[in-house]
Amino acid sequence: MMKRVAWRNFDFWLFGAALFLSIFGVMMMNSAIAGNEVLAEQVARQPIFLLAGIVLMLLVAAIDYHYWGSLARFMYIFAVVSLVIIYIVGQARFGSARWLDTGVILIQPSEIVKILMIMVLADYFAKNYDKPRNLKWILQSFFLTTGVVIWILLQPNLSTSIVIMVIWFSLLWICGLPFKYLALMVILGLVLVAAAFPILEDYQRARIINFLFPDPEARHGETYNVEQALITIGSGGWFGQGYGQGTQVQLRFLKVRHTDFIFSAMAEEFGFLGSVFIIGLFAFIIIRCIQAGRNASDMYGSLIAYSYAAMLFFQAAINIGVNLNVVPVSGLPLPFMSYGGSSLLSSVIGIGLVESVNLRKGNIA
């Protein structure tokens, strides 16, 4: 049912925390470029994406989220078709189908597809919530998910594919996945990982091997990047070296410092206390999303908020884990903070969806 918009239910704390992280991310990018003119041109576009994202976030919040449920089938078809097209065009123009060149900016459609799949899968599980939790229930949602994931894997983009599978699994878990199927999925998952390892791209296998068996003599590649990230984090100490004063960043020892390793750059400049504060903000946003799910007026709204919280937790945990060298390098951006217009739009649009759920937890119109 359509709910009356009650702007008093707008979660300004959630909005403020996400906005703070996004603005702070732009500030960190400006410091992390360390005078690199090429990176400076790229980072200069990030505030534009942020402004566009805020507008889209408010627009999505104002639209009744039930409307997206009625368009679930169309959104799914759109996601698949767009990925097929971008795969073909990308292969022809870039050798990779991750980005679409609009002539002004590069857009990564798979980032937006993550949000589309939250709405599509939440709609599926909400409509089938009363169905038996059997193998058919699991397989239907699995094939619905893999219909999109396979095209992202072909880009190749393993990290985003895993994120979408995490969204799917989190919804299975939230909706009451029986333990016997959970155990079966764990076993099958381990078998699939072992079987898929030989067919991974060379750089993907190298990331895993370098994580498991690091070469202490390596002076390039992922091993070097992770070692420099750890040095950068350690050099920040308790209070950091100050904004724009981090030696590892400003002397450019830390690579990909405005994307994958922006957390390390931040830790050097703001120290352990600053890092704990940023991690705390992520935890705060996730908790607010979970609260929105608990207070939602229906199952569809709850599943939207819960699945976005799961996606945010997974991406933030993996990115920070890469910086701390506790998981292999994945290429996942740190939500709100890493450079990338598509990633930023995806993050803030997700906040808009959660706010839409918050706004319509009141009375029926």
Q: What is the pLDDT of residues 276-285, one digit of tens each?
A: 999 999 999 9
C-beta atoms surrounding 251 within 10 Å: 9
Percent of the chain with pLDDT over 70: 88
pLDDT in tens, 142-184: 999 999 999 888 877 888 899 999 999 999 999 998 888 888 8
| Lowest-pLDDT range of 30-34, 264-268, 286-290 | 30-34
Q: What is the pTM of this model?
A: 0.90
Closest CA to 345 of 49, 113, 83, 21: 49
The domains of the chain are located at: 16-199+217-359
| Lowest-pLDDT range of 105-109, 114-118, 263-267 | 105-109
* pLDDT of the residue at 148: 92
All residues at 6 or more sequence positions from 170 whose CB lies less than 8 Å from its CB, including other chains: 306, 307, 310, 311
* pLDDT of the residue at 365: 40
pLDDT in tens, 183-224: 888 888 888 777 777 667 766 777 777 777 776 666 666 678
Closest CA to 261 of 346, 344, 341, 333: 333
